[in-house]
Amino acid sequence: MSQPKEEKAAKIPKGIKFLFGGGAGMAATIFVQPLDLVKNRMQLSGEGGKSKEHKTSLHAIRSIMKNEGLRGMYTGLSAGLLRQATYTTTRLGIYTTLFEMFSKDDKPPNFMMKAGIGITAGAIGAFVGTPAEISLIRMTADGRLPVNERRGYKNVFNALSRIVQEEGVLTLWRGCIPTVGRAMVVNAAQLASYSQAKQLLCDTGYFHDGLVLHFCASMISGLITTAASMPVDIAKTRIQNMRIIDGKPEYSGAFDVLSKTIRKEGFFSLWKGFTPYYARLGPHTVLTFIFLEQLNNFYNVYVLHNENAASGL
């Protein structure tokens, strides 16, 4: 006699996976928003051949605190939260869904398959999240400008409505190509390296599933992702922050940004802001994955009553 269907192990519904992904990213952003602000200011420092505004991350922090106060460190938080609600909800939801789809006999996909899943999830998530990303870049960059040149967005929804009114709806997807490109690099590196690092650490026999394992795997993933994604992140940041001067944009595309940056500021300027970028991406990666793993575990144990279920990452 065949087993009743209800005995089959229940799994986390896809809608809940998307919700947990976005919730984990938003929770992490509350902690790391000041680092995102510093990273963006560092990447824009020296743009257009101007003297560098911020030589180090500490110099940037001191300048922001002096000129804008403690509250200024959280400039753009509403945009950061909306970005996570759109981008991270989509990318982690798609990644965990595809990860489960391509896992066979409780064995996770190989590294190349993980990377491919990450690229797919990142590209779709980035497209969805580009409007919030543009708002975030502009809001965090505003404080570095003279008062008469600032855009002065009140919050992310004010930013979105004004961008549409003043520059047209398509401006919300300005820089979409480098944004999608960055997300493909970030997700291939971040999601695949996190899954792989967790698997390799477990294989050593010194680590067991829990916070210590999640923390170590996240830090490894954050370092790899930072090194791989910074050049395309700088291109994205500068394109999304650029102005139209006399009817002509400052940059024609990502390659134009990279070539001008290398020519005027040097090759290693492509990794300008590495410290705040990693300081932001490392903890954000750690917190996002820890929150996501804990949410998944909570749902498995207390809702599905399945203590042996895998996290899906």
**Per-position b or e across 277-296, b if 16+ CB within 10 A of its CB:** bbbbbbbbbbbbbbbbbebb
Cα 282 to Cα 291: distance, rounded to the nearest angstrom: 14
Q: What pLDDT does 193 receive?
A: 85
Specify the pLDDT at position 47. Answer: 62
Position 310 scores a pLDDT of 60
List phi, psi (to 5°) of 309: -70, 145
Per-residue confidence (pLDDT) for residue 154, from 0 to 100:
93
Q: State how far the Cα of 176 lies from the Cα of 182, in Å rounded to an integer.
A: 10
Any idea which fold 11-303 has?
Answer: Mitochondrial carrier fold (1.50.40)
CB 238, CB 43: distance < 8 Å = yes
Domain boundaries, the chain: 11-303
Place of tokens 């064995």: 107
Instruction: Provide the pLDDT for residue 313.
Output: 62
pLDDT for residue 157: 96
DSSP output for 238-249: HHHH--EETTEE
CA atoms within 13 A of residue 15's CA, in its CB half-sphere? 0
Residue 198 · residue 313 · CB < 8 Å: yes
Q: Which residue in this structure is represented by tokens 């002065």?
A: 152
| Strand-pair partners of 248 | 245
CA–CA separation, 281 and 274 (whole Å): 10
- Write b or e for each residue in 244-275: b if 16 or more Cβ atoms lie within 10 A of its Cβ, otherwise e: eeeeeebbeebeebbebbeeebeeebbebbbb
Number of neighbouring beta carbons within 10 Å of residue 133: 27
Cα Rg of the chain (Å, integer) = 21
Which DSSP letter does residue 5 get?
G
Helix then strand then coil, in percent of the chain rounded to 5, is: 75, 0, 20
| pTM beyond cutoff 0.85 | no
pLDDT tens, position by position, for the chain (313 residues)?
454 544 556 788 888 888 998 999 999 999 889 988 888 888 777 665 555 566 677 888 888 899 888 888 999 999 999 999 999 899 888 988 898 888 887 788 888 888 899 899 999 999 999 999 999 999 998 888 888 889 999 999 999 999 999 999 999 998 898 889 888 888 888 877 888 898 899 989 888 878 788 888 888 888 888 888 888 888 888 888 887 777 788 888 888 988 988 988 888 888 877 877 787 777 787 788 888 888 888 898 888 888 776 655 6
Where b means 16+ CB within 10 Å and e means fewer, 63-86 reads: bbeeebeeebbbbbbbbbbbbbbb
What pLDDT, on the 0 to 100 scale, is given for residue 169?
A: 95
